[in-house]
Structure 1
Amino acid sequence: MRKKRTNDPEGMRRRVLDVAEEAFQARGYHASSLADLMAAAGVTGGALHHHFPTKKALALAVIEERVAAAVEETWIAPVRAASSAREGVRAVFEAVAAELERQGYVRGCPLNNLAHELSLADADFRTALAGIFAGWRQAIAEKVRADQQTGGEGGTDPDRFAALTVAAYSGAMSMAKTAQDAGVLRECLKGLETVEPSPSQNGSAAKRRRVLRRRTTH
C-alpha cells in the first residue's frame, strides 16, 4: 500500500509566519530569536531557511503578508465599503475599541509596533512599512474624493484628512497600549470628528481672488 504523503510546505510556511507574527508583536523583532521561533513552530532550521533564508526575510514576509493584510482588513476595506469617509473612520475606531475591550488588553497597532522598532534599523524594513502607511492614507483620501464627487466634503483636503486620521489612530493606539485603556481611541475619535468640512474655504479663496483682481485693475 502506498504511503500517504504528509509533507505540507505551504502549511509549514503559514505556521512559521503565524508564530513570527505573534512573537514580533508580543516581544518584538529583536527579542525573538530564530531558535525560539523554530521551537514554537515545530520546524527544523533547514525547513525554516528553505522558506526564509534569514530572520530579516521572515520579518519582511510578516510585514508584507500579515501586517499589510491586517491594515487592509481593519481599515482599508471598511472605509471603502462605508457610506462616506467619515462614517468609515468612525466605524473603524468604534469597532477596534469594542474589540480591545472585549479581549481585555491592548497590544497596539501591528503596523505601529513594528514601525517604532524597525524603521531606523534597516532601509528595507522602513520602505516596506512606509508603503503600508502610504496605502492606508491613499485609501482614506480616495474615499474623501469620492465623497466630494457626490457633493460632500467640499472644504476638506483629502490628503490632509487622511494623514490626520492615520496619525490620530496610530497615536491613540500607542496611548491605549501604554494605559491599557481602549477608551483612549474613543477620545481621539471625538477630537478627530471636530475637524469638520469647511465649505467656506473655497468661497474665501474666491473672494481673495476677486479682491486681488480689483486691486490690480484700479
Structure 2
Amino acid sequence: MARTNDPEGLRQRLVDAAYVAFTTRGYHSSAIHDLKREAGVTGGALAHHFPTKKALGLAVIQDRVAEAVETTWIAPVRVATTTADGIQAVFATIVSELERKGAVSGCPLNNLALELSREDEAFQAAIEAIFLRWRTAIADKLRADLRAARIDDFDPDAMATLVVAAYSGAMAMAKASQSVVPLTVCAEQLTSILQNRTSQ
C-alpha cells in the first residue's frame, strides 16, 4: 500500500471506513483486516493512529456518530421556527433519504448503543453523552417555545426524552420491516402532540 504524507487524512479514512462498517455490519462483526483493506492503509498506519480496535470504536462514536446526530437532528431543530417544525423537517429529510436509498440500516447511534453499551464503560459513556446532547438540544428548543408562548407549559426534558425514544423505536421498527411507515407515523404523532400543546 502506498505511503502517505497526510497523517490526518489517513486517520479520517480509517474512521470513515470504520464508521460504515461498525454501524452497518456491527462492531464485533467488523474484522481489522477488512477495515485496513477498505480504508486502503497498512497495519502499521492503523496501529499508529489506533493501537486498539476499541480506540477506533471510540473515535467513530465521538467523531462520526456524534457528527451524524448533530447534522441530522440537533442543527435542524435549533434553526427551526418551532420544535414541531424542526421535528417535522428532520423526519421528512430522513424518510426522503431512506426512500432514495431503498433500504433502512437503522440509526447509527442506536445500532452501536444496542451492541456496545452494556459491555464497556467507555463505550457506554460516549454513547450516553450523545444521547444527552440530543435530548438537551430538543429540550432547549422547547424552552424557547415556552418563553415565546408558542406552546403551553409542560416538562421540556420529559418531552425531549419522548421524542428521542419515539424516533429510536420507530427507526428500529423501520429497519425490521424495511419500511419508512413507522417513521412517518411517529412523525405525525409527535407533531400532533406538540401542536395540541400550542398556546391559544
TM-score tier, shorter chain, comes to over 0.9
- Aligned-partner residue type, residue 197 of structure 1: R
What is aligned with 2:74? 76
- Aligned-partner residue type, residue 155 of structure 1: D
What is aligned with 2:197? 197
Q: Tell me how far apart the structure 2 counterparts of residues 40 and 141 of structure 1 sit (CA, whole Å).
A: 39
* Aligned 8 A contact 1:156 1:198 in 2: no
What is aligned with 2:164? 166
What is aligned with 2:151? 153
Q: Which has the larger radius of gyration?
A: 1
Extract structure 1 runs of 4+ deviating beyond 6 A. Answer: none
- Aligned-partner residue type, residue 106 of structure 1: V
Q: How does 1:68-217 map to 2 (within 5 A)?
A: 68-195=66-193, 196-197=196-197
Unaligned ranges ≥5, structure 1: 201-218
Q: Tell me how far apart the structure 1 counterparts of residues 4 and 183 of structure 2 sit (CA, whole Å).
A: 46
Unaligned ranges ≥5, structure 2: none
* Aligned 8 A contact 2:149 2:199 in 1: no
Q: Tell me how far apart the structure 1 counterparts of residues 180 and 154 of structure 2 sit (CA, whole Å).
A: 28
TM-score in terms of structure 2 length: 0.94
RMSD between aligned residues: 1.5
* Cα deviations by residue, 1:179-210 (Å, 9 ceiling, x for unpaired): 0001210111122233232869xxxxxxxxxx
* Aligned 8 A contact 2:76 2:86 in 1: yes
Q: Tell me how far apart the structure 2 counterparts of residues 40 and 6 of structure 1 sit (CA, whole Å).
A: 16
Paired residues in the alignment total 196
Higher relative contact order (CA 8 A, sep 6+): 2
Closer, same or farther: CA 91–198 of 1 in aligned 2, 3 Å: closer
